[in-house]
Amino acid sequence: MPESFFEGENSRSTFRAKGPQTSERSPYQEFDRHSWASLASATPLPLTESDIRRLAGLGDPIDMREVDAIYRPLSALLQLYVNEQRSLANSRAGFLREPRGRTTPFVIGIAGSVAVGKSTVARLLTELMRRWPQTPKVELLATDGFLKPNAELERLGIMHRKGFPESYDRRALLRFLAAIKSGAPQVSAPVYSHVTYDIVPNERNVVDQPDVLIVEGLNVLQPPLRSSEASTALGVSDFFDFSIYVDARHEDIKNWYVDRFLRLRETAFTSPKSYFRSYAGLTDQEAVATAERIWNDINLVNLIENIRPTRGRATLVITKNSAHRVNRLRLRKL
């Protein structure tokens, strides 16, 4: 295949010019950092002091200049998609001679490796989209609530495969999204704890007809199941109105994973309730070796086998450099 979007990790397209680029051979339009960031000056709703305080309060170590240059224009683009969808729903109701009802939530999927920064992007977009008058109610859900409980993973002998497609109750996730996209009120999802490393019994997250629902998880762009488990050919992404794949070099993601592990060793792992409390006493060297082992044996394998291959299904692919700066964006052509 000629130079195209569907290429390996280390190949880079030859686009280096400043403006947005299109190639007849790619379904994506490509922006370098400079051309995307230049959209910010023409984008409404500049960040106010109180926005900055709120975003900083999320606890993510993110540079506000990055928020302004990359994520604020992205929230404006998403707003455009939401508005167009509502306008289409209205025209369609007119055509079908139906009363104009409320539209179902606009669902955005965010995919990518463990530790690539999905949760950070998802939290930022949630806050940024809440600022738009048309979408005050934006909710966020991670797919970890749909992991099978540890007892079941143990029974199946797949405790070491947490995060792989078979470790999720994918039918429950599909049912959840089908209910959201049918417009149902009070749709609930199970809750996962990163402290106990398990599903929290008797606890549910309730999603009640938001304007926008952001669904973030490793496997949200996975194609439909082909095993005997499958009773439908639907995939989770059939319920998405827009999807984002967060991309970075494997070596960078590994470093972010190890850094996060070292931080958790001093915070969450010290809790008596932590599944990983034995890690709290590791020396620096042991902690790095342990994190690298988990990365290499589990998360990198999942990235290569299951997550990265779904990248070409996303509406938008954002690529970060080793400093978490977005330096390339690819947006599906319309």
Ligand X SMILES: CC(C)(COP(=O)(O)O)[C@@H](O)C(=O)NCCC(=O)O
Residues that bind ligand X (CB under 6 A): 114, 142-144, 162-163, 217-218, 294, 298-299
**What is the rounded distance in angstroms from the CA atom of residue 173 to the CA atom of residue 175?**
5
Min dist CB 149 to ligand ADP, Å, is 21
| Contact in structure between 265 and 258 (CB atoms under 8 Å) | no
CA geometry: angle at 84 spanning 89 and 107, to 5°? 80
Nearer to ligand X, 84 or 286 (CB): 286
State the binding string over 179-218 for ligand ADP (x if CB under 6 A, else -): ----------------------------------------
**By CB under 6 A, how many residues form the interface with ligand ADP?**
14
Binding map of ligand ADP across residues 289-308, x = CB under 6 A, - = no contact: --------------------
60 belongs to the binding site for ligand ADP (CB under 6 A): yes
> Beta strand pairing status for 21-22 and 138-142?
unpaired
Q: In what order do the strands lie in the sheet with 138-142?
A: 21-22, 28-32, 326-332, 316-320, 242-247, 106-112, 212-216, 138-142
Which residue has 């928020």 as its token pair?
67
Q: Does the protein bind ligand ADP through residue 69 (CB under 6 A)?
A: no
Query: Between 114 and 253, whose beta carbon lies closer to ligand X?
Result: 114
Q: Is 317 annotated as a binding residue?
A: no
Query: Residue 215: which H helix or E strand, with range?
Result: strand 212-216
Nearest Cα neighbor of 115 from 331, 330, 298, 268 is 298
Residue with tokens 């993110």: 62
Residue 114 is a binding residue for ligand ADP (CB under 6 A): yes
Pick between residue 37 and residue 110 the one whose CB is nearest to ligand X.
110
CB under 5 to 8 A by kind: which of ligand ADP, ligand X, none does 60 bind? ligand ADP
Options 29-37, 54-62, 81-89, 279-287: segment touching ligand ADP (CB under 6 A)? 54-62
In DSSP notation, 90-142 reads HHHHHHTT----PPPPEEEEEEE-TTSSHHHHHHHHHHHHHTSTT---EEEEE
Kindly state whether residue 62 participates in binding ligand ADP, applying the rule CB under 6 A. yes
Cross-strand pairs, 244? 110, 316
Among 36, 245, 256, 261, binds ligand ADP (CB under 6 A): 256
Residues making contact with ligand ADP (CB under 6 A):
60-62, 112, 114-120, 256, 260, 324
The binding site consists of 112-119
